[in-house]
Amino acid sequence: MGALDGIRVLDAGLLVQGPQAAALMSDMGADVIKVELPGFGDQARWISVSDTDRRAPYFIGANRGKRSVTIDLRKPEGREVFLRLAETADVIVSNFKGGTMDAWGLGYEDVAARNPRIVYATGTVFGPIGPDAEREGADLAGQAAGGLISTTGVDGGNPTPVGITIADFIASSTMANGILAALIARGRTGKGQRVDVSLVGSQIWAQASEYAYFGLSGQQPGRANFGHPLLHAAYFIVPTKDGWIALIGVPPALRESFWKCVERPELAEDPRFAQMLYTPEIKRDLQAELSKVFPRYTTAEWCERLRAAGQRFAPVRGYADVVADPNMWQNGYLSTLNHPEWGEVTMPGAPIRMSDTPMIPGQFVAELGQDTEIILTELGYDWDQITALRDAGAI
């Protein structure tokens, strides 16, 4: 049994923000029903690997292990099907443009009138209230409007977005946290509630330390400059003979062995580097010195040397290197999807380990609407009613 065994989630979300929150709950044991538009589905189904490979990584990554039902929520008949389904659910997840579900008569108040115990989670881009509440957007909007992009790159260079859907992911994790807290509160009160999460708000929360610095100093923390603008230590990446390696600080007890390891023992006596934390100027000097040293050896050779010296480091790796690391598999961070057509496909595993209720990544990807008739019969619809709904375009 998973931690959420017995919990039913209706995932009416799109792309990443809502669906990935529901996917995490699926890995925790919840029964997640994906609600999609007939004939089209979640837009994520249309973002393919390539023009010739129509498999959809965005959809697969955030929707494994879910059942799929097609309902046109815009039609009165579809609205009623969704409300009947909501009566059996514990959680609803959606991240349509703000106000969309309310306009369809499927907002929190509408659903709670039928099921007061429902936890109703909505994801927006800019927040549920205010002048931007109904503006559309996507991950890039969260990165930009939340301030993240202003922190990337180097001084004098152009900022660049992060190369993953980081705003969506952080918002999905925040949404899952809010849902789980609301379920705990419902256990005390017997009543559900609405949970609102946004891309921008989640981005700001993810930068809590940096925004605290701004609040205290009135200044932007600065650009990453190969490390972090607030950590003035040996905390940055440096080039090696064949790649890059990250140095994660050198505590006082490791300082002498560090300088020997990098074949610069004389720098142990350099007064500039006598402390663990430096001024920004001395940090730049240190980066310059180490950037001369590390190209002498390959990343793998440096990993061996630094590991033997007990130093703090990590190689800068691509996905292929990560997948080849047995440690990632042993901890369950990577898993295998066994698909009847595609064979074995490497996928992300569950990032949380639970001793008594283990996480189990989904092992199937539903075709659009493949479970519609089964789910409707579970709700008590007979075949004549299902046929009528299909004729009306509601399912």
- If you write DSSP's letter for every residue of 172-236 in order, what string do you get? HHHHHHHHHHHHHHHHHHS---EEEEEHHHHHHHHTHHHHHHHHHHSS-----TTB-TT--SSEE
The DSSP secondary-structure symbol of 198 reads E
> Two tokens at 271?
């007064």
Residue 205 neighbours by CB under 8 Å, 6+ apart: 170, 174
Among candidate residues 103, 98, 45, the one with its CA nearest the CA of residue 70: 45
The DSSP secondary-structure symbol of 295 reads G
Cα–Cα distances in angstroms (integers) from residue 289 to residues 35, 181, 238, in the given order? 56, 49, 10
270, 276, 280, 285 alpha-carbon torsion, rounded to 10°: 30
* Alpha-carbon gap, residue 309 to 290, rounded angstroms: 17
* Alpha-carbon gap, residue 223 to 185, rounded angstroms: 40
Q: SS3 helix, strand, coil % of the chain, rounded to 5?
A: 40, 15, 45
> Two tokens at 185?
């509160």
The predicted model scores a pTM of: 0.92
pLDDT for the residue 273: 83
**Is 270 tagged catalytic?**
no
pLDDT for the residue 276: 65
| Active-site choice (168, 196, 371, 384) | 168
Helix (H) or strand (E) holding 205: helix 199-206
pLDDT for the residue 363: 85
> Two tokens at 125?
């881009």
Query: Is residue 285 packed enough to be buried (19+ CB in 10 Å), middle (13-18) or exposed (0-12)?
Result: middle
> Two tokens at 235?
């905390």
pLDDT for the residue 266: 87
Which domains, and CATH codes, for the chain? 8-206+365-391 (3.40.50.10540), 235-316 (3.30.1540.10)
| pLDDT averaged per 10 residues, the chain (length 395) | 96 96 96 96 94 93 95 96 97 94 96 98 95 93 96 93 95 97 98 97 96 96 94 94 96 90 88 79 91 96 96 96 95 90 90 92 91 95 95 94
pLDDT for the residue 48: 94
